[in-house]
Chains A and B, each alone.
Chain A
Amino acid sequence: MAATPTGDVDVDTEAVSASIVGASGFAGGELLRLLAGHPEFELSQATSREYAGKSVGSVHPPLRGTDLRFSQPGDLESVDVLFTATPHGVTMEHIDDYQDAAELVVDLSADFRLDTEAQYDEWYDGHSCPEKLDVAQYALPEVNRENLAGADVIASGGCNATATILGLYPLAEAGILDGADVVVDVKVGSSEGGAGGGAASSHAERSGVVRPYAPTGHRHEAEIEQWLGQSVSFTCHAVDMVRGASATCHVFPDGPVSNGDLWKAYRGEYDDEPFVRMQAGGSGTYRYPEPKAVAGTNHAEVGFELDASNERVVVFSAIDNVVKGSAGQAVHAANVALGFEETAGLEFAGLHPVGSP
C-alpha cells in the first residue's frame, strides 16, 4: 500500500475496512459500488433494516454477484471507516456509537455540514449533538482539502450545494462575488429525493415535470453561504432526469469583470483539480456543463459566459448528484483524509453517447 499513516487509521498494514450504515438507498448503493471497486478499502458490512439478510445485489443491480449481505444496524461491528448514508437526524443521534465503532466517520446526511448550532436552529430542526459540530469537516476537497487529513468526522456536502459552490467558489476566492447579487437556479433529477419516494415521486407524477420544489428558503442555502461568504437567492427545480444536478448562477458583480479575470479565477482554482473539468463555450457539441457528460462519475463540469451588456456573469455547473454530490464526494474526502491517491476508486470518466442521466 502506497499510502502513509494519517490520523488514527493505520493505512500501512493492510486493506482499510469500511462499512456502510443505510446501504439500501441510492447514495448507499453508490457507496457500495465505489468501495467495492476501490483498491484500498475492503467492504465489511452494509446495514439495512428492510433488507437484512438479502444480498446487496438484490437491491443494487450493479452489485449482483458481490458476496455481501445486508446486516441489521444493531449488528454493526468495529471497522476502520464508517460511511453513514442515513436520513437527516440519524447520525447526530448516533454519532457517539458510530465513533466508538470507527476511527473515521463519513456522513452523507446534512447532520454535520454546518458550523454552528444556530445554523441548525435556523435552517433545520435544531441539532441534538452540537458539541460535535466543531469536530466535523466538510467533505468537498475543492474547498476544504487542507482540513481533511486526520479528520474524525467528515460531512459530505449536499448535491445542490455542491453544484453551486463548485460553480461560484473561484469567483468568491477572486473577490468577484464581493458586493455582487447572485441568483442560483438548480435543476435536479429524481434520485435526489431518495429511494423511498412519496406521492410526488411516483413515475406518473414525476415524469416530464419542471417543478419548482424549493422556490425560496432551500436548506442548502446555508451550506452555500457558509462556503462562499455571500448570500445567494436560490431556487430549485425537479426536472425529468434520474441523475444530475445542474446549477445556473447569475452573478451581477459590483464592478467591471473581464473574460481574462474569469479565466484567471477559474484556472487558478481548478487547473490542478482531478475532478473538475472546465467547459466554457469552447467548441464541439457540449459547450457548457451538462449532467449527461458526468453521469456516474465523480467529475464536475464548470463553465461561464460573460454577458457584458447586462453586466452579468452566468456560471454553469453540472454534477451527478449521487456521486460528486454525495457518495463520490465522500470517498474522495476519505481518500484525502487517509492519504490515499485522491482518484482511487473514482477513475470512471463517464459514457458517450448516453441517454437521459
Chain B
Amino acid sequence: MTTCTECGADVALHDDAEAGEIVDCTTCGAELEVIDVSPPVLEKAPELEEDWGE
C-alpha cells in the first residue's frame, strides 16, 4: 500500500507491479508512475499533451 501523490488516498499496487508501470488512483483518477516497488514509490505520470479541441 502506498499513497497517491495527488489526493493522498491509499493506492494498493498489485503483487507483481514493476517500476515504470502506470497505475491510476481509484479515488481521484490520477495516473501515477511506479518509481520503485520496495518500498513502493509513486510519482504523477507524465501527461500526454492532448488537444481536447476546445
Interface residues, chain A, with chain B CB atoms under 8 Å away? 259-260, 263-264, 267, 271, 278-284, 287
Contact = CB atoms under 8 A, between A and B. Distances in A.
A267 B30 contact: no
Interface residues of chain B: helix, strand, loop or mixed (majority) = loop
B6 interface: yes
A280 B4 CA distance: 13
Contacts of B6: 259, 263, 282
A282 B7 CA distance: 10
Contacts of A282: 6, 24-25, 28-31
B8 A279 contact: no
Contacts, number: 37
Given A267-B7, A280-B28, A283-B24, 6 more contacts: A267-B9, A278-B7, A278-B27, A281-B30, A282-B25, A282-B30
Nearest to B22: A283
B17 to A, nearest CB: 17
A354 B39 CA distance: 41
A287 B24 CA distance: 12
Which bracket fits the contact residues of B?
10 to 19
B8 A283 contact: no
Contacts of B8: 260, 263-264, 267
Nearest to A288: B29
Contacts of B7: 263, 267, 278, 280
Nearest to B4: A263
In the A-B complex, list the 3 residue pairs whose CB atoms are closest, starting with the nearest: A282-B29, A263-B7, A283-B31
A287 B29 contact: yes
Contacts of A281: 29-30
A80 to B, nearest CB: 38
A263 B8 CA distance: 8
B37 to A, nearest CB: 21
B33 to A, nearest CB: 12
Contacts of A284: 24, 29
Nearest to A262: B7
A279 B29 contact: yes
Contacts of B31: 282-283
Interface string B17-42: 00000001101111100000000000
A241 to B, nearest CB: 18
B29 A263 contact: no
From A271, A278, A284, name the one whose CB has the most chain B CB atoms within 10 angstroms: A278
B34 to A, nearest CB: 15
A216 to B, nearest CB: 27
B11 to A, nearest CB: 12
Contacts of B24: 282-284
A233 B25 CA distance: 34
Nearest to B24: A283
12 contacts: A260-B8, A263-B6, A263-B7, A267-B7, A271-B9, A278-B7, A279-B29, A280-B28, A281-B29, A281-B30, A282-B25, A282-B31
A279 B24 CA distance: 13
A287 B29 CA distance: 8
